[in-house]
Amino acid sequence: MNLLQKLRPAEGWFSLALLFLLLMITTMSLQAAEWADGMSVLSSVTIMGIIVGWLFAKSRYVGFFLHPFAIILGIMWIGYSALPLTGISGSWVDQVSALILRPLIWLFDIQAGNVNGDTLPFVLLMGGLMWLISYGAIWDFFRARHIWGVLIPSALTVLINTYYAREDLIILLVLYVLVAFLLIVLSNLLDNQQRWRREEISYSRDIQVDFLRDGALLALFVIGMAWLMPATIDHAAVNPTLTRLTSPWGRAQQEWNRFFGTLNYRATGSGAYFDESLTFSGNLVRGEELVMYVRADAGRYWRVLVRDLYTGAGWTLSDDEIVAGPAAEQPIEGDTPVVDRGRIAVDQRYTIFRPAGTQLIAAGEPLMATVDLRLRRDVAPATEGGVEPIQLFARNPLFQGQSYRVTSAMPNVDEEMLRAAGTDYPVDLLEHYTDLPESLSPRVGELATSVTGGAETPYDQAKKIEAYLRTFPYNEGIAGPQPGEDGVEYFLFREKEGYCDYYASAMAVMLRTLGVPARIASGYSQGSLMENGSYEVRQRNAHTWVEVYFPELGWIEFEPTAAEQTLDRPLSLQGQFGPDSSEEGLSSALNDNDEMLSEMEDLRGDAGLENDGATDQPGQRDLFAWVPTMNWRALVPYLSAVVGLALLGVIGWAALQQRWRGLGLVEKLYDQLRLFGRALGQKADPSLTPHEYASKVGAQVPPAASTLSHVADLFTRQRFSTTPTLDPEEEAAMSEEWITARKQLMRRLAQRIAPLPSPADEIDSDDEAWQRPR
C-alpha cells in the first residue's frame, strides 16, 4: 500500500476537496477586501494549515498532544511567510527582529491608549486566524466529525468581512453558502452511510450524487429567497430594541478601530459612527447614503465629537469617561452662560436616517436637548467648575427616522473681537491644548513660525496658517504615512496633499507649536440646502475641522481644507444670525419647537416616500452601483443558477470518477448503461441478466439497442469467461461505438425531461380543437 492510499481519508477525496474549497473561499474573501498590504500571505498559511490538519487528523496520537505542536508550527510558518512584509532587505536576523519588535511597539502603544498605524500586526493576526480556522476545520471534519466546528468560525469570518469590506464581495459569500450547504449534506450522508454499514443496510453506490445535487438545489433556492427578502426591519418600535442589543458590539467596534485605524475600511453604510480615535490612513472612501436632515437658523458644521490628544499617528481623547447628563429639556448643569461670550442661542432640529447608536449631533457648544443625555466633558474647561461637553449621547439608542432638537451656543463674533481677545488663557486649558508629543520634529514649529511671520495676534496667526494650508491640493487617494511616521510631517513635508483629517491636524499642531490652544472636531459639514430651508446631509459631508480657543469668546471654528468653502468672519455682526443675542433669545429658541416639530415630522414622512434613490431607502444596499444603467440585482438569481449548475457539473464529474476508480472499460460502460437506464425509468432488477436489462433499455432507445446489447455481451464475457480481457483493437472499437450510442441515449433522456410533441400529436390536437363544439 503506497503513501497516498494510506493518507486517503475514509470520507473520500471529494470531501477533502470540498473542504479545501470552503477554506480557500474564506481566505480569498479576506484578501479581496484589501484591508492592508501583505494579505497575500494568507493563502500559504491556509494551505499549510490544511496540510498539517490533515496529517494530524490521520495520526494515531490524541489532540491533547498534537494541538500545541500545531500552534507552534503555525507561529513559525506565519512568521516565515511574513518576513518579506518587514521591508528589510538585510539578513534574516534583522527581518526576524523587525517582525518581533513591530508588533511589540504596536502593543505598547495600544496599552498606553495611543494609536499606531502599523498594519503588520493586523496581517499577523489574520494569519493566525486563518491557521486556526483551517487546521481546526480539517481536524473537526476528519477526526472529530463535527461539521459545525468546521463551519461556524469560517462563516463568521466571511460574514463580518463581507459586511465591513469596502469592496463588493457578495459573489464570494454566495459561493461560500453554496459550498457550506454541500458540506452539511455530505457530512450528514457520511454519518448515515457509516450507520448503514454498521447495521448492514444496503444503499445505492451513486447515492452521494443524488444527495449533493439536491443539496445544491436547496442552497440555490435559499440564496435566491434571501436575496429577495428585505434586508432589515424598519419598524420604529423594533429598531430601538435591536440597536440597544447591538450597543456592546458598537463599543467593540470602537476599540477595534483604535487598534487598527489605518485599515481600508468601507464607507459606513448602516450608521454614521465616529470613533474616539482618528488614525492617519490612506485612501478615503465616503458613501452617498443619506445621514440626516437638519433644520437650523445658523450653523456651518454639525459636530459629533472633539479630539484633544495628538499622538503623531492620529488623535484620540485624553479622557473617554462618559457621565450622566440632564434629562430632556433641561439645561446642562454648570455649563457656561451664552451671553457675554460672543455667542448666541441657536436651535437645531435633526431627523436621523443613519443612526449611530446613542451618538448625538449638535452644532457649537450644546446647552440642552429634547432627549435624556449622557456626555463627555472637556478635561480642561475654560471656566473653573464648568461642564463643557465635547460629545453628547442619548441615554437610549436612536432609531431610523427619529427626530430630536438641540439648543447650542454658536459664535457671534467678528474679526475685531477675535483680534482683541488677547492671550490671557486659563492655565490648565493652555497647558492641555498646546501639548504635543516629544517625537514631533522641530521643523513643524519652524514652518509655523515662518508662515505666521508678521502676525500680531493669535487670530492673525490662525488665518495665515489656514490660508497657507489651503494652497495644498485636496486628494482623497493618498497612500498614507509609513508605520512610525508622524502624520502631520507626512502631510506638510512629504505628500503635500491630502484630505480634511490632514488639513485640520496640520493646522491644530502648527498652532500648538506657537502656543495657541487648538483642537480638531469631527462631524459633518453643512450639506445641501433644500427648498424648504432644511439641509440634506449625506455621508460625503463627513468632515474634520479646527477649533481655536479665544479668551472670553470660547472655541471658534476654522476651515483649512482646500475643498471646503472658506470660513470668513463678518466685519459686522448685524444680521449675522436670526435669533436675538440675549437670554430672551435663548428662551425663545427653547420654546418655539411646536411649529418646527410639525414641519420635521412632515419632512420625515416625505423622505420615506420620495427619496431620490434606492440607496436612501432604509434596509437596502446597492451592491452594483458601479453600473447604474443595468439592473444587476435582477440577474443575481440567474448568475447564481449558472454558477450552481457549473458546480453541480464538477461535483457530478468528480463523483463519477470516484465511482469508476479501479474499473475496466467494459465495467465502466455497463455502469453507464445502468445509470442511463435508471434515468429513463428502467430500474435494475437483480433478477435480470445483463442481456435482459440491456434489452429493456434498448427498447426505449432503438437506435442504440445493438450497442447496448454488445456492451452486455462484453460485460458477461468479462465476468464469466475464461478469457475476460479485451485486446486493444476491441477496446478502441467499443469506445467509438459507445460514443455514438451515448449521444442517442442523451437525446432520448432530453426528450423524456422536456418532451416535444410529434406531428401526429399536433394533427390530433388540431382535429380535436376543430371538432370541439363552439
The residue to which cell 480569498 is assigned: 28
Rg (CA), the chain: 36
Q: Does residue 671 sit within a domain?
A: yes
Can you tell me the distance from the alpha carbon of 277 to that of 257, in angstroms, rounded to the nearest whole number?
7
Residue 744 has pLDDT above 90, yes or no: no
**Same-domain pairing of 542 and 427:** yes
C-alpha cell at 161: 468581512
Q: Within a domain: residue 630? A: no
Last residue of one domain, picked from the residues 167, 190, 206: 167
The pLDDT of residue 629: 40
| Total number of domains constituting the chain | 3
Last residue of a domain, one of 595, 616, 644: 595
For residue 348, report the phi and psi dihedrals to the nearest 5 degrees.
Answer: -125, 145
- Give residue 495's pLDDT band: very low, low, confident or very high (50, 70, 90): very high
Binned at pLDDT 50, 70 and 90, residue 248 comes out as low
Residues 706 and 587 both lie in one domain: no
Strand pairing category for 518-525 and 301-307: antiparallel
pLDDT of residue 240 exceeding 60: no
- Name the helix (H) or strand (E) containing 431: helix 427-432
Same domain, 418 and 504: yes
The answer to whether the beta carbons of residues 346 and 299 sit under 8 Å apart is yes
What is the rounded CA–CA span in Å between residue 731 and residue 416?
A: 104
- pLDDT tens-digit map of 629-641: 444 444 555 555 5
* 143 and 260 co-located in one domain: no
d(C-alpha 609, C-alpha 611), whole Å:
6
| 317 torsion bin: left (phi>0), alpha (psi -120 to 50), beta (else) | beta
pLDDT tier, 543 (very low <50, low <70, confident <90, very high otherwise): very high
Q: pLDDT band at 745, cuts 50/70/90?
A: confident
Residue 758 in this model has a pLDDT that exceeds 80: no
| Whether residue 669 is found in the same domain as residue 588 | no
Q: Is the residue at 590 inside a domain?
A: yes
* pLDDT grade for 492, boundaries at 50, 70 and 90: very high
Classify residue 411: in a domain, yes or no: yes
- Residue that has been written with the C-alpha cell 435566491 in this structure: 224
Instruction: State the sign of the Cα–Cα–Cα–Cα dihedral 567, 573, 575, 580.
Output: positive
- Chain segment 316-345, per-residue pLDDT in tens: 888 878 888 888 888 886 544 444 557 888
Question: What CA–CA distance (Å, rounded) separates 85 from 217?
Answer: 43
What was the pLDDT predicted at 11?
67
Among 133-142, 371-380, 429-438, 570-579, the minimum mean pLDDT is found in 570-579
Q: For residue 184, is it within any domain?
A: no
State whether 297 and 423 are in the same domain: yes
Q: What is the DSSP string of 648-660?
A: HHHHHHHHHHHHT
pLDDT score recorded for residue 406: 93
Angle at 290 between CA 288 and CA 296, to 5 degrees: 125
DSSP string, 37-71: TTTTHHHHHHHHHHHHHHHHHHSSS-HHHHHHHHH
In the structure, what pLDDT confidence band is assigned to residue 132 with cuts at 50, 70 and 90? very high
- Residues with Cβ within 8 Å of residue 170, at least 6 apart in sequence: 162, 623, 636
273 and 399 both lie in a single domain: yes
Nearest to 268 by CA among 617, 525, 621, 521: 621
Domain of residue 523, CATH code? 3.10.620.30
The candidate with the shortest Cα–Cα distance to 174, out of 495, 570, 741, 636, is 636
Question: In this structure, is residue 420 part of a structural domain?
Answer: yes
CA quadruple 237, 241, 246, 251: dihedral positive or negative?
positive
Grid coordinates belonging to 468: 497657507
Complete DSSP assignment for 694-723: HHHHHHHSGGGHHHHHHHHHHHHHHHH-SS
Pairs from 653-662 (Cβ < 8 Å, separation ≥ 24): 654/14, 654/17, 655/14, 655/206, 655/208, 655/209, 655/212, 656/209, 658/12, 658/13, 658/14, 659/205, 659/206
Does 496 reside within a domain? yes
151 plus 262 within the same structural domain? no
Grid cell listed for 547: 477649533
Domain containing residue 559: 247-595
Same-domain pairing of 261 and 360: yes
Specify the pTM.
0.58
508 Cβ contact partners less than 8 Å away, ≥ 6 residues apart: 310, 518, 519, 520, 546
pLDDT of residue 10: 66
Considering the domain boundaries, does residue 84 fall inside one? Answer: yes
C-alpha to C-alpha distance for 665 and 31, rounded to whole angstroms: 45
pLDDT in tens, 278-310: 888 888 878 888 999 999 988 889 999 999 999
Q: Which three cell numbers stand for residue 517?
A: 490652544
Helix axes 120-139, 41-58, angle to 10 degrees: 30
Q: Are residues 591 and 674 in the same domain?
A: no
- Whether 590 and 675 map to the same domain: the answer is no
Classify each residue of 102-130 as buried b or exposed e, where b means 16 or more C-beta atoms within 10 Å of its C-beta: bbeebeebbeeebbbbbbbbbbbebbebb
Residue where a domain stops, chosen among 595, 620, 638:
595
428 with 517, same domain? Answer: yes
Contact 347, 596 (CB under 8 A): yes
